[in-house]
Structure 1
Amino acid sequence: MDLLYARAQMGLSLAFHIIFAAAGIALPLLMVISDLKARRTGDADYAALSRKLAKGTAILFAVGAVSGTVLSFELGLLWPEFMGTYGQVIGLPFALEGTAFFTEAVFLGIYLYGRDRISPGLHLFSGIMVALSGAASAFFVTLVNAFMNHPTGFTPSPDGPVDIDPIAAMFGPSWPHQTVHTLLACYQASAFAMAGIHAWVLLRHPGSTFHRKALSVALPLACVTALLQPVVGDLSAKHVATAQPVKFAALEGLFETRKGAGLSLGGIPDVETATTPYAIEIPKALSVLAFGDPNAEVKGLEEFPRADWPPVAKVHLSFQLMVGTGSVMAVLSAITLFLRFRRKAWPDGRRLLWGWLLCGPLGVVAMEAGWLVTEWGRQPWIIRGVMRTADAVTPVPHLAAPFWTFTLVYAFLGAMVVFLLVRQVSGTLPGRAASEASHGG
């Protein structure tokens, strides 16, 4: 039971933190884009947008810093065997992430409070550094996760790791596609959320020029990332098929090894019967996607010890949710870009605005589902093939108490963030903005 609570607490902390981490990565980029547009055009709306995004970045950065600090403590307190034994192997990216976080905090302070106190060029440079530092922070953290999925850079021994090469541990075989996949997910989730918010306002107030311009800032990033993500995801899946075949089999709900394996759409894997009922199968498509050969053999779960199987149904359903929401966002983005180049302007018809409003939360849904796939798909290992999760957990009992305590804390922080962000958005509504201006702000 304590193992379950330890995993649940770590999962809850990650699910909460990743939303704020993603915003801390993407909002500074959108902030800098708005700033650049304001400088190039002299448009007050873009300047106001950059200020709003800076305030939003500060709010989300503060909560992300708190939840990230909690995570760093949880790694040591909940999983002492992992950090105590392999911290020397994978400690370097943690240290670099801390440096990136510190740099982001310094330049965010300069950007927030130096707008009218330093030169415009230095102010813009500080915003660019916030965006780069946020991306670097996510990059280094993802390197740790890539190591856990595909450990390299050391030789296992009964006394712990030997022949340690920290650089090789950082840059194992899976780092390129996993880091790019993660960064794209962060930008995509934040840009879709921002586009959804401004689409909602434009449906209520079609004449709002501020929100029309804000939508024009969010849409390019949303569309580009949504169309790039399936390409990177395909490369990642091909790597998993070769390097982590048991995880790949769980992703697809494939129990039997097959040549010319079909791709299952939907379905709920049943471990007891070794079948995936209710799935729609596309013949030979899985072999093509995994190995580029319609007759290639794809290993099923039957090839691996039952004790090494991840939770098949959870992994499969999370993967289907990620792919499904990603596909919907890619289709909407393709339609939007087609209309953009056809009409020489970003489209703002009501049907398309409704599409962006409804798809606004899908980036976050896909990102959370993707992390569940990564984490559940690695089980029962904390370091795949090297250390099992059950062997890494703390021996301290009664882990239910901190789990419920942090659940309440996260609920409170989440409610406060929603309250503050709603105030930020409502302050830009046409009626509210006019009322505030008439009363002196």
Structure 2
Amino acid sequence: MELDPLLLSRIQFAFVVSFHAIFPVFTIGLAAYIAVLEGLLLKTGNPVWKQLSMFWTKVFAVVFALGVVSGLVMAFQFGTNWSNFSYATANFMGPVLSYEVVTAFFMEATFLGVLLFGRDKVPPAAHFFSAIMVSLGTFISSFWILSANSWMQTPGGFEMRDGIVHLTSWSEAIFNSSFPYRFAHMGLAAFLTGGFVVAGVSAWHLVRNHAVEANKRALSMSMWLLLIIAPLQLVVGDLHGLNTLEEQPVKVAAMEGNWERGSNVPLLLFALPDQEAETNHAAIGLPGMASFILKHDVNGIVPGITDVPKEERPPVALVFWSFRIMVGIGILMIVAAFAGLVLRMMGRLYDHRGFLQALRLMVPLPFIAVTAGWFTTELGRAPWLIYGVMTQAEGLTPSLTGGMALFSLIGFMLVYAVVFVVGIYYLTRLTAAGLTDIETPPEHPERQRPKRPLSAADTPFDGDDLDFRPLRG
């Protein structure tokens, strides 16, 4: 059997992206939470905030390291597997990806060092500032990465000359039509991920009756955040979907499992899409609801997958189900957020063991939702690498063979398996250990001296000249 280098390269990139994406989306939300904790510590001096900040900063450091290791590989793949794409888009992708390193990664790395090792070496305000800069760096990083990816989805501000991208407007290219929706959607996903992880870990320790005061505060903060962010994500997701309907109608058709263009299209809750037969099996749906959601009219016309030739259609079943996994988890998040509000009003938020255990079990769900969302976005664009401009086959490295692609794929899988297992094991041990008690050091310990009885010569006050003299001895 002949190995297909295009298929293997796509699998390899999907594997690397899926592994990498879960780490930045967590660090973005967690960095913002740590900055809030440091601000509260600076304002109040309450050691509980220090206790929480020290614990979650340790978690952040491990996740940040995993994200860096897994992310470095992605850049190399552009040259090894997708050299035609890299060459054609170098005028845009090269500067944008370098801006991410210069404006974000360097800042994150620098101030992370202060955040990790400077707590007792720099003034409290400087330590708080370092937390803010780390958080800001994560957002700047996501800005450039999502700009580059959104440009591949909805390219703008360029023209093709002899197969090479030449920019005609940097602002139109960076702030392309889908970027604002995708940046907002991903930012909220980051807060949801951080919020549910903090809530889940805090709930687990409350069940164990460990560091109760600190974990109560962490859980309370997380649940207030989720109560706002989870419903807001539904609204932003709808706006993102409407933008996708305008820019990439076939992707939306695959998400809805709608084969024929028409009106009164049902919202499918379950179906088994058959790409060869161009139909769905065992379909269960709500009549007219897809038209209503997408067009705000049950008689609205919804595009169909058959609007384009077969070679331009995405893998419908994968897009269909990855979209439903993402939306299903999102709805479950909203339910959990409102359940927390009800329990808070009943005075049971911190001692309802069933709810606390449910939050603990929900910790993996935001990561699954993020991965499913990326699958929906990237698979729904297929077979285009740059939508409507360059196909995946056209962007592939010409000299790449199936054997070479398989060898690198196996290598990545083995290395990433080791990194992932070790990283998750260490994170599990770290979160299981929980918060450590904070011992507040005495002020100015260098001024403390062994006590001994004072003699007359040691008296600091001289009544003749009303002067204060330094102590001797």
Shorter-chain TM-score above 0.5: yes
Which stretch shows the higher mean deviation, 41-50 or 323-332? 41-50
| Aligned pairs for 1:202-217 within 5 A | 202-205=206-209, 208-217=212-221
Cα distance in 1, alignment partners of residues 222 and 113 from structure 2: 24
- Is contact 1:89–1:164 with CA below 8 Å preserved after alignment? no
Find the counterpart in structure 2 of residue 411 from structure 1.
417
Q: CA deviation at 1:345?
A: 8.6
CA distance in 1, matches of 2:31, 2:167: 40
Equivalent residue for 1:57? 60
Taking a change above 3 Å as real, the CA distance of residues 343 and 41 of structure 1, as seen in their structure-2 partners, is: farther
Most deviating of 189-198 and 207-216? 207-216
Shift of 1:71: 0.8
Q: Which residue of 2 aligns with 1:91?
A: 94
Kindly provide the CA deviation profile for residues 177-199 of structure 1, in whole angstroms up to 9, marking residues without a partner as x: 11111111122122212222222
Aligned 8 A contact 2:42 2:125 in 1: no
Question: What letter is aligned with 2:29?
Answer: A
TM-score (norm 2): 0.87
Instruction: Report which of the two has the higher share of helix.
Output: 1
Q: What is the CA distance between 1:422 and its match in structure 2?
A: 2.4
Partner Cα separation in structure 1 for residue 413 and residue 314 of structure 2 = 25
Q: Which runs of 5+ in 2 are unaligned?
A: 440-473
Q: For 1:245 and 1:207, locate their aligned partners in 2 and report how far apart those are by CA, in whole Å.
A: 51
> 1:28–1:259: structure 2 CA closer, same or farther, 3 Å change rule?
same
Q: How does 1:150-169 map to 2 (within 5 A)?
A: 150-162=154-166, 164-169=168-173
Contact 1:336-1:347 at 8 Å conserved across structures: no
The answer as to 2:357 corresponding to 1:351 is: no
Instruction: Assess if the C-alpha contact under 8 Å between 1:184 and 1:225 holds in 2.
Output: yes
Q: What is the match of residue 178 of structure 2?
A: 174
Aligned residues: 432
2:249 and 2:303 in contact (8 A); partners too: yes
Distance 1:206 1:428 in 2: 8
Amino acid in the other structure paired with 1:176 = P
Q: Please show how residues 77-156 of structure 1 align to structure 2 within 5 Å.
A: 77-99=80-102, 100-156=104-160
CA apart distance, 1:212: 2.4
Q: Which residue of 2 aligns with 1:424?
A: 430
Q: Deviations over 1:296-330 (max 9, x none)?
A: 11111121111100000000000011111111111
Instruction: Map 1:236-315 onto structure 2 (within 5 A).
Output: 236-315=240-319
Structure 1 residue 338: deviation in Å?
4.1
Q: Which amino acid in structure 1 is aligned with residue 419 of structure 2? A: L
Distance 1:275 1:428, change over 3 A: same
Q: Distance in 1 between matches of 2:211 and 2:80?
A: 54
1:297 aligned counterpart, secondary structure: coil
Shift of 1:371: 0.3
1:346 deviates by 5.0
- Which residue identity does 1:393 align to in structure 2? L
Farther-moved stretch of structure 1 (228-237 vs 40-49): 40-49
**Structure of higher CA gyration radius:** 2
Q: Determine which of 10, 20, 24 is the counterpart of 1:21.
A: 24
Q: Distance in 1 between matches of 2:47 and 2:167?
A: 58
Which has the higher mean CA deviation after the structures are superposed, 154-163 or 241-250? 154-163
Alpha-carbon distance in structure 2 between the residues aligned to 1:425 and 1:328: 24
Partner of 2:200: 196
Please give the alpha-carbon distance, in whole angstroms, between the structure 1 residues aligned to 2:257 and 2:163: 37
CA spacing shift, 1:92–1:162, aligned 2, 3 Å: closer
The letter for the 2-side match of 1:192 is: F
Structure 1 range deviating more: 296-305 or 87-96: 87-96
Tell me the equivalent position of 2:232: 228
Q: Give RMSD over aligned pairs.
A: 2.0
Q: Give the corresponding residue for 1:330.
A: 334
State the TM-score, normalizing by the size of structure 1: 0.93
Residues 185, 92 of structure 1: CA spacing in aligned structure 2 closer, same or farther, 3 A cutoff? same
Alpha-carbon separation, structure 1, partners of 2:380 and 2:163: 28
Partner deviation per Cα, 1:137-179 (whole Å, 9 max, x = no partner): 0121011111111111112344423453232111111111111
Deviation at residue 215 of structure 1 after TM alignment: 2.0
| Structure-2 separation of matches of 1:193 and 1:403 | 31
Q: Percent identical across equivalent pairs?
A: 35
2:320 alignment partner AA: H
Write out per-residue CA displacement over residues 232-284 of structure 1, whole angstroms, 9 at most, x where no aligned residue: 11001111112111111000100011112121112121122322223322121
Runs (5+) with no aligned partner, structure 1: none
Give the match for residue 370 of structure 1.
373
Q: Deviations over 1:343-398 (max 9, x none)?
A: 58955412221231232211111111000001100100110110000111122222
Q: Which residue of 1 aligns with 2:395?
A: 392
Matched letter for residue 161 of structure 1: V
Secondary structure of 2:156's counterpart equals coil
Pairing 1:3–2:32 present: no
Tell me the SS of whatever aligns to 2:285. Answer: strand
